A and B are shown apart, each in its own frame.
Chain A
Amino acid sequence: MSATLSQPKPTEGRKIKADPDLPPVAVVEPLTIPTRTKIVYGIIGIVAAAAWAVIAVSRGETVSAGWFVLAAVGSYLIALRFYARLIEHKINRPDDTRATPAEEFANGKDFMPTHRVVLFGHHFAAIAGAGPLVGPVLAAQMGYLPGTLWIIIGVIFAGAVQDYMVMHLAIRRRGRSLGQMCRDELGPVGGWLAIIGVMTIMVILIAVLVIVIIGALAESPWGVFSIAMTIPIALFMGIYMRYLRPGKVTEASGIGVVLLLIAIAGGSFVAADPTLAAIFTMSKLNLAYAICLYGFAAAILPVWLLLAPRDYLSTFMKVGTIAMLALAVLIVLPVMRMPAVTTFALTGKGPAFAGNLFPFLFITIACGALSGFHALISSGTTPKMIQKESQARVIGYGGMLTESFVAINALIMACVLDPHIYFAMNAPVGLTGGTPQTAATYVNSLGLVSGAGNPLPDATPAVFADAAASVGEKSIISRTGGAPTLAFGMADVLDKIPFFGGLKAFWYHFAVMFEALFILTTVDAGTRVARFMLSDTLSNIPGLIKFRDPSWRPGAWLATALVVLGWGSIVVMGVTDPLGGIYVLFPLFGIANQLLAAIALTLVFTVVMKKGLFKWAWIPGLPLAWDLFITMWASFEKIFSSNPAIGYWASNAAARSALAAGKPYSTAKTPAEVEIVIRNTAIQGTLSILYAVLVIGVFVVGMWISAKALRLGGLPTSETKGVPSRIFGPAGFVATPLEKEVLADWRSAGKDPDGGYHHVHTEADHAAGDLIAD
């Protein structure tokens, strides 16, 4: 069946039938590009090139953020039309006469063909989280240019390629998970290394996300109140949709969203009232303990009571905030105040994270450019819902492009801030001292310059006090982790829209709250997933077979406790770290995520080699080589660098000698603090080694199999034999003329092109030809 697509054929398009009694289920588009398309893409190309030229050349004081939006969107559209198409034609070769897992195993529940626009949204909501918002904000310390280049070039050649290709593999393998596919294609050793890698990496990802959110909530009664209120709101929703009005899930979600907005607004009264403010003011350490307890509870409570309602809320908040973010940039078109490249890119002494542009920028911005975690979503969930193989291009590749756009917006938000405020917020408290006076002294000592290279006038302490007051906080100094900076940037930009003015504090807390909400959702879900993986692993040990039974309560609780202990100890370690938790742990987060990407890309590369597509193996090979090179370089520096600011073990050794000499070490002033540094750097150093070894193991196995495939001219893969498809759906958002013809064929045959799988108003949409059209 796939042969029909691989043979370069006539310039005319064709319709293909799988079942003679049904209308066509696939189309082969004509090879010639219509003139109108050529003109449209020609214009897009010129606009994108012009925007890139402005970004690359302009070094004035007023570079508008609009150029970044144009350059990004233009590049994405061209990549989706041409590079993703190349991958489609040369490697994936989707075969729409073959039923997807969603169609083949449709059960009305988890396997279910879903309208492509709805699925695009669903997939995007599952992949996008706090990651693409946090990394670019931290990377802004190097200026806007390095981050912009990596986010856009990275997503086109690495991130979106990974998501798209992994999705295609899983579609051809009944929607198997990444771990299972690794076991099938790389053998038991590669498979086990990959599964252990996934599990340990998940733990560090959860931990760092929790530290991010603690940075935003600590000492902020408004933030703590509104996020604490999500718990009773979710419990209420859970009881509502299970007992009060059973099954009325949409109603419950609507009520929940309204209550949530009231909770955010109500936070201002809490912050203004001294007694209430005292109740909801929590230190970082207490918050860490509270979130650990919460995480444990959420992972063992029934799903309907807390996790499911929170997940629904979190999706709406996510869409709302990301839409606000994009609108804010497009309406206000703020001006970049950070220079294109700062001195920190070259010296590696930036306060948000340590290290030079090469390699550390590329692990700081993971989500948004290349995120290994997406391989878990692209493999497990989406293939069970996709109608047609050919839709994976728009959903997989296009979904990742959208996340990249979110990352660009986050970068813009950080770069339009007053650089004084940016650095005061993102430097650890050991550097800023925590008060407006000390922070002003610190940022004035950085020698900050404007976009044109002129020194910025010194900041007064009042700048920081006023900034904090404007968003209803006591202090914004050393609010590390990226989330508060993004929230502040967003509030600042939204404040410039006339109608929204005066709500700055509300928008700040709206953004903080939404990030907290979906970080906590990631924590609950991640803890549950890791718990199941751990139980499964434990059950392989002789005598512990009982762990395999998920309804065995003591086993479930023990495994959950172990997982929470795993990430919880890293969280406590991070918030008590005298050097700054984000400063030392964020690189580990990036390395873990990028190494997961290396596992996914190794899998994809190996399968391409097994299929004998040697000529096109560079498509996954290029991002694999780059990702492995840059991440191993970063790991190598983190492990072996003799610079204590970068190498964990160098820092460990320096702290040890400082302790022996009875001296302070860096920002650790007391002997007890120095001991904490010694312990933490040893743990971080060990984790870096563990991740690197696991990934090298998977990579070596993959290369060994690939070499064998090259020698033999190909190897069998675990691709399953499909069944003929009996439904039809266009590949892109808007149906092509040929696809419209096929839809008309289905209509005139009196049949439903998606076999009754879709829900509302499809026929109407055909006529409308709008974005939701079938």
Chain B
Amino acid sequence: MNAFATSEEPGGVRRPAPRALDDADGRTPWRRAYDGVTRVLKGMAGLDAYERYVRHRLAHHPGEPLQGEAEFWRCRWDQESRTPKARCC
């Protein structure tokens, strides 16, 4: 279901599955549309932050330790409370 294979490693890191170049093959147009819509919706609300973080670390800091999902969100909320962002009227 999820684009990312879930693996519970020590520290609770959820690693995204390696992206195959041809992973379009298995998906119907409906499936692609569904994936696109959920991706945009999650991105709008910022729910995809952890996935993005892991991708970034794997691509640019390979081999370095990763924060677990729970720890990542705790840090993120701490940061949000220190640097609040205005929402518009």
Contact = CB atoms under 8 A, between A and B. Distances in A.
A280 B64 CA distance: 54
Given A247-B12, A522-B88, A526-B86, A311 B79 contact: no
Contacts of B88: 126-129, 131, 367, 371, 373-374, 376-377, 522
A525 B85 contact: yes
B44 A319 contact: yes
A761 B32 contact: yes
B85 A757 contact: no
A720 interface: no
Contacts of B48: 118, 759
A764 B27 contact: yes
A107 B64 CA distance: 14
Interface string A604-640: 0000000000000000000000000000000000000
Contact of A308 (B32, B60, B80, B83): B80
Contact of B45 (A131, A312, A525, A529): A312
Contacts of A248: 69
A302 B53 CA distance: 23
B4 to A, nearest CB: 8
A478 interface: no
A241 interface: yes
Nearest to A312: B45
A756 B44 contact: no
Interface string A556-571: 0000000000000000
B59 A522 contact: no
B74 to A, nearest CB: 7
A246 interface: yes
Nearest to B3: A760
Contact of B87 (A319, A526, A757): A526
A717 to B, nearest CB: 25
Secondary structure call for the A interface: helix
Nearest to B36: A772
Contacts of A209: 89
Contacts of A771: 36
A528 B78 CA distance: 13
A757 B58 CA distance: 10
Nearest to A299: B84
B74 A242 contact: yes
Contacts of A249: 47, 49-50, 73
Contacts of B55: 756-759
A605 to B, nearest CB: 22
B79 to A, nearest CB: 7
Contact of B86 (A202, A246, A319, A763): A202
B38 to A, nearest CB: 9
Given A109-B53, A304-B77, A532-B84, A763 B39 contact: no
Interface in A721-774: 747, 752, 755-765, 767-768, 770-772
A373 B86 CA distance: 9
B44 A367 contact: no
Contacts, number: 198
A349 interface: no
Contacts of B44: 118, 121-122, 124-125, 315, 319
Contacts of A376: 86, 88
A107 B60 CA distance: 10
Interface in B4-21: 12, 16, 19-21
A319 B36 CA distance: 15
B70 A550 contact: no
A250 B49 CA distance: 11
B40 A118 contact: yes
Given A126-B88, A518-B87, A302 B81 contact: yes
A121 B40 contact: yes
A226 interface: no
Given A108-B53, A112-B56, A380-B85, A253 B45 contact: yes
Contacts of A550: 82
Given A376-B86, A756-B58, A761-B3, A768 B24 contact: yes
A121 B89 contact: no
B45 A246 contact: no
B89 A757 contact: no
A129 B87 contact: yes
Contacts of B19: 761-763
Contacts of A121: 40-41, 43-44
A371 B89 CA distance: 9
A189 to B, nearest CB: 24
Interface centre among A128, A131, A249, A521 (most CB of B within 10 A): A249
Interface string A289-302: 00000000000001
A547 B39 CA distance: 40
Contacts of B23: 761, 763-764
A205 B89 contact: yes
A373 B87 CA distance: 9
Nearest to B42: A250
A329 B33 CA distance: 24
Report, nearest first, the 7 A-B pairs whose CB atoms are least far apart.
A756-B59, A246-B70, A118-B43, A764-B24, A247-B69, A108-B56, A131-B89
Interface of A: 106-110, 112, 114-115, 117-119, 121-122, 124-131, 202, 205, 209, 241-242, 246-250, 253, 302-304, 307-308, 311-312, 315-316, 319, 367, 371, 373-374, 376-377, 380-381, 518, 521-522, 525-526, 528-529, 532, 550, 593, 747, 752, 755-765, 767-768, 770-772
Given A246-B12, A759-B39, 5 more contacts: A109-B49, A129-B88, A246-B74, A302-B77, A757-B56
23 contacts: A107-B56, A109-B53, A119-B43, A121-B43, A122-B46, A209-B89, A242-B70, A242-B73, A247-B69, A249-B47, A249-B73, A304-B74, A304-B77, A316-B45, A367-B88, A371-B89, A380-B86, A525-B84, A747-B21, A756-B56, A756-B59, A767-B24, A768-B29
